[in-house]
Each structure stands twice: as structure tokens, then as C-alpha cells.
Amino acid sequence: MYKDFRRHLESLEEKGMLLRVRKEVCTRFDIAAGTRKISDNDGPALLFENVKSFPGWRVASGAYATQKLIALALGLPIDATEQSIFNRYLECDQKRVTPRIVTRAPVKEVILKGKDVNLAQLPVPIYSELDAGSYLTAGVEVARDPWTGIQNVSIHRRLVLDKDKTTILAFPPQHLGLMIDAAEKEGHGLPIATVIGAEPAYTLASCVNAPEGIDEAEIAGAIQGAPIEVVKCETIDVTVPAHAEIVIEGVIIPHERVFCGPFGEFPGNYISMLGTLRTQAPVIKVTAITMRKKPIFQAMLTGFPMTENHTLKKWSSAAGAYRVISDLADVKALNFTPGGACHYHLVVAINKKDDQEPKKIIDSLLHARHGPSLVIVVDDDIDVYNPVEVEWALATRMNPAKDITISPVHISRQETRSVSRWGIDATISKEEKQYYRKITVPGVEKVDYV
């Protein structure tokens, strides 16, 4: 594992997994187009070295855009399987390594405050055709809970509004959304730092569905195998990775809301999770920008699966779901499917001992805080990563009249749409297992003529 983002990029280049782009590119669509292409073709991460109107800047994009890149960021072999990546998250997401506070940091080589703050100096891309403007998408948001004092680390998109203002899309039940609401109820805005170009472990940990009261920087330390070095911000009471490329400090303007869309969302369209095209979001007043000399800006494409947004969430979310149901059955594998945007549809394979186990799993996951919209439970002879096998289980082992569960209707926070969740039991009953298992032909392993 590598301590900082740029050393990680160097490691990717040594392994043939980084492409330097020296052709001039524009922040409007060009960077996104290249990232879209490598996402679709299992390609290398990109480092754009010639960005129009931003001399001296480099932009890294797609650093975690494929399964191979996620594996390398986790310290696994480049050909690691989905199951081994999932196991790596299970190994780390319950461990804690306390960050180490330092007083000197590369991210403080350049410090901009007051009138010197200008977000227009950063090469922030425009990604998709209908996007409302330039968005910070790879920034890891760090804030301190006003009640507990424990920091939260997560990723949320931010629309650049002005030289010193952005939106931030964070609402309850997300931890950051709860913290913003708590601060506003006390009559002040929540201080937030946005970390761009953090070490890989920090970015990976920010996507873990950790319980409230857990500082994801401690999980990052577990992933990295050593404490994350952090430094105090200049203008707010938040600590951030000392080896980051850029940190944007700011404070929520209490009760101010503006439209922050449309934006190409992770489901693959322009409708947000709240069910609206142009969601109103909190506004942040930027108070400082600190960075390295010759910083590397990090871009992250989201959109139609698969993109970096999906690869970052897929296995960490599966590990979180496993924690919810691990005591209910002998769980063998879980997969958030690409067609479900690695968020909405979850397939769970179990070694079923009791015909009630699938229903218990479905009920638990559908009512979980970050639960999927659809849960499919299959037997452990089904490969959850193979869509043909999953569909075959649905076709041959499921009776819609008795095996489909529909949960009570859930109303989104802004009450703009109703969302029902559902589950499917596609397992074989104990009495019928002999005849509903896969057909096998004895002696196939002995055939040596084909």
C-alpha cells in the first residue's frame, strides 16, 4: 500500500495500469470521455498532463474505475477475484487503526485564504451532457459530528456555484446529512473539509457503510496497514490527510438551499436518489484552499454502470450487507449487480438449513438503513456473479405467488416519490432439492477428446 495518491499513481504506471495523456484536453467533457472509455474497456487509469486553460495542472481520472484498479488499491494482485476483493473488505471494515496527527504536511505547501480563495483556479470537469456545471466528484468529505465530536468521512458531489461557494448533496439518513441537520438545529453551519487526491486507503474507507460513531479514517488505517497521517485544517476544526493533493475548507451556510442539478447520477440517468431532477441542497462557503506544489487534481466519473462510483461502492456495500445477515444463515457470497447500479439489486447465496432463512434475510436487508431495493436469495450452487445462473434460479426455483415479498412503501425525504422494496426467494425447498438441482452428466471430467 502507498502512503499518498501520487505514489500510488507511480505504482500503477510501473504495473502498466496508468496512461499519461499529453494531448491537450478540455475540462468540458474531454476528461469524462476518456474516463468513460477506460471504464468500458477495463483500461488503465489516466493522467492528463495538458489541460486547456490550466497550465501546470495535472488531472488524474479513473484511478479506481475497474476491478483491477480496486484490487491494486487494496494491496491485492491485479487479477484478484470478486470474492477475494469482498473478503478483503470483510477483513478490514471491522478493524480500527487510529490516525496519527502531524504538524507539517505536504498538503500545506500552498495556503490560500480570504480573497485568494478561487475555485475557478481548479480544473474541475464537466462530465455529462446535461450537467448543470462543474462538479467536485472525487472529493472525500470530512466533518466532525457536533454531538459526539467524532469525524465522519464520506463522498458527496458538489456543484461549483462561485469562486467560494459550492453545493453539497448530503441528506439524512446519510451520516453527513444528519450532522448538517444537527448543526443547523443548534443555529450554526457545519464545518466541512473536502479532500482531493487522498491516499487510496482513505478513499476506499470513505465508501464503507460504517455505523454511526465510527471515524472511517480508522478503517483506512486498517486497509493501509498503518495509521493515516492527518493534519489540522487552517480555518475549521477538522483533521485531514497530510499527504493529500488538495483540501478545500468551508462551512455550511445555515438553512440556505439551492438547486444542484441536473447531474449524471450513478443509476445511469439524471434523476437523483431523492426522485427529483433538480434537488435543492445545502450551500458551503469556502474559507480556505490548501494544496501541494504542482498538485494533481482528481476527477471521478459517475453515470451508466460501470463507472468509478460503482466500483468503489460494490464490494464495500456487500461487506456491509453481510454484517446485517451473517447471523441469520450460512451466507456464502453476496453481489450488488452492475445492472442494479451496484446499489439497488443484491444477490445472496446461502447454504440453506431452514426454509425460513431466505425470508429472514430479505426482511433484514429491506429494512436496513442502506438496504437495497431488491434482494434475491439463491442456493450456494448458484454463482452470484453470473447473471445467467441467477436468472436460471429465478426461472426454475421461484414461484411468484409465494416467493415474492414486497415491503411497505418508503417515502423519500422530500416526498417526491414512493419507493417499494422487494425480495425474491429463489432457493430450493428441502423436500425438492434432489430434483431441482443442476443437471450433471457423470464422466465429463474424464473426456479427453475435446
Q: What is the pLDDT of residues 396-417, one digit of tens each?
A: 999 999 999 998 765 554 444 4
Record: fold of 326-436: UbiD C-terminal domain-like (3.40.1670)
Q: What is the pLDDT of residues 176-210, one digit of tens each?
A: 999 999 999 999 999 999 999 999 999 999 999 88
Delimit the domains of the chain by residue range.
5-299, 326-436
Position with higher pLDDT, 432 vs 126: 126
Q: What is the pLDDT of residues 337-387, one digit of tens each?
A: 999 999 999 999 999 999 999 999 999 999 987 789 999 999 999 999 999
Cα–Cα distance between 1 and 40 in angstroms, integer? 26
Within a 13 Å sphere around the CA of 27, how many CA atoms are in the beta-carbon half? 23
- Res. 219: pLDDT tops 90: yes
Give the torsion sign (CA, 341, 347, 348, 351): negative
Decide if 5-299 and 326-436 have a common fold. no
In the 3-class helix/strand/coil scheme, how is 252-276 assigned residue by residue?
A: EEEEEEEECCCCCCCCCCCCCCCCC
Work out the angle at residue 111's Cα, subtended by the Cα atoms of residues 110 and 114, and round it to the nearest 5 degrees: 145
Please give the helix or strand (H or E) that residue 235 lies within, else none: none
Cβ contact 1:201 at 8 Å: yes
Would you call the peptide bond into 262 cis, given omega within 30 degrees of 0 as the criterion? yes
CATH class for the region spanning 5-299 = mainly beta
Give the torsion sign (CA, 195, 201, 207, 209): negative
Cα–Cα distance between 100 and 73 in angstroms, integer? 21
By CB neighbour count within 10 A (0-12 exposed, 13-18 middle, 19+ buried), where does 416 fall? middle
Residue 405 grid coordinates = 415479498
Q: Is 158 helix (H, G, I), strand (E, B) or coil?
A: strand
Q: Is 9 helix (H, G, I), strand (E, B) or coil?
A: helix
Q: Is the pTM of this model over 0.85?
A: yes
* Secondary structure (DSSP) of 322-390: HHHHTTTS-EEEEEE-GGGTTTSEEEEEE--SSTTHHHHHHHHHHTSTT--SEEEEEETTS-TT-HHHH
pLDDT band at 279 (very low <50, low <70, confident <90, very high): confident
Give the torsion sign (CA, 211, 212, 214, 217): positive
